[in-house]
Amino acid sequence: MRVVFHESFHDSDYSEDKHDNAADPGRLVGVMEALRGEGHYGVVIPSRATREDILLGHGEAYVAAVETKARLHAAAMMAAGAAIMAADYALRGEPMFACVRPPGHHASRSSAWGHCTFSNVALALLWLRNAGRIRSAMLVDFDAHTGDGTKDVLRAWPEARVFNVYGDSAADYLRNLEEGLKQAPQVDILAVSAGFDAYIHDLGHKLSTEDFFTIGRMLQGYAIRLGHQRRFAVLEGGYYLPDLGKNVLSFCRGFE
Ligand SMILES: [Zn+2]
């Protein structure tokens, strides 16, 4: 497994919103320390998505509005570029994790909320489809919040299934994921919106560090059942910074 990361993702001044927890200073420091500390995850450096890439999933007027905010636009183009790179490598057979911000699953075709700007994971899948490299995909989102933006961006593509994991407890969450994956179809690639805010000390108050390993391992199992094993994950939420690094690492150990 490899990690897609650009040093500019450490810059936290891309957001003008004081309540944007995804842009908290130092948020990705612990994550990259944990992933680099694991020793065998090579880091690959992405380049920014192009305007054409973004227009695969977003409307012209929305893109133009984001372009008026130079720092946000630059960060969001790099985040989308990182997700696209992860998808590209994944299709060639390597499991990937893209450590990015701003996140993307609340970004719809023509608007966004919840600290998101461009729909990173959906754009990565549309990019593969546009290149004629996939026809179908399964997107699993285990963030505490529903990926409403992802669903909107992919709504005209029925062969791209979106599955948001829910549950009132950790046991519920894991059971629902297991059931959902049992019923999941044969697809060309597995994409994951990896949010860590369902953590016991985060907004969702449910999942443990070990549960993130279990989630990663269930997703790996599904990819193995698909035969080709193609899979990639992209960071969404996760705001309890003292443990975010170990939670991401736990997921990656299961997913790799
Ligand atoms: Zn969330």
Q: To the nearest whole percent, how much of the chain has pLDDT over 70?
A: 100
Measured in Å, residue 121 CA sits from the centre of ligand 1 at 15
Measured in Å, residue 230 CA sits from the centre of ligand 1 at 25
Measured in Å, residue 82 CA sits from the centre of ligand 1 at 20
Q: Pick the closest to residue 178 from 225, 229, 219 (CA basis).
A: 219
Domains of the chain from N-terminus onward:
2-255 (3.40.800.20)
Measured in Å, residue 227 CA sits from the centre of ligand 1 at 31
Q: Pick the closest to residue 109 from 140, 69, 153 (CA basis).
A: 153
Condensed to tens digits (0 to 9), the pLDDT of residues 1-60 reads 999 999 999 999 999 998 999 999 999 999 999 999 999 999 999 999 999 999 999 999
Residue 18 is predicted with a pLDDT of 86
Query: Rg of the chain's alpha carbons, rounded to an integer?
Result: 16
Q: 150 pLDDT exceeds 90? A: yes
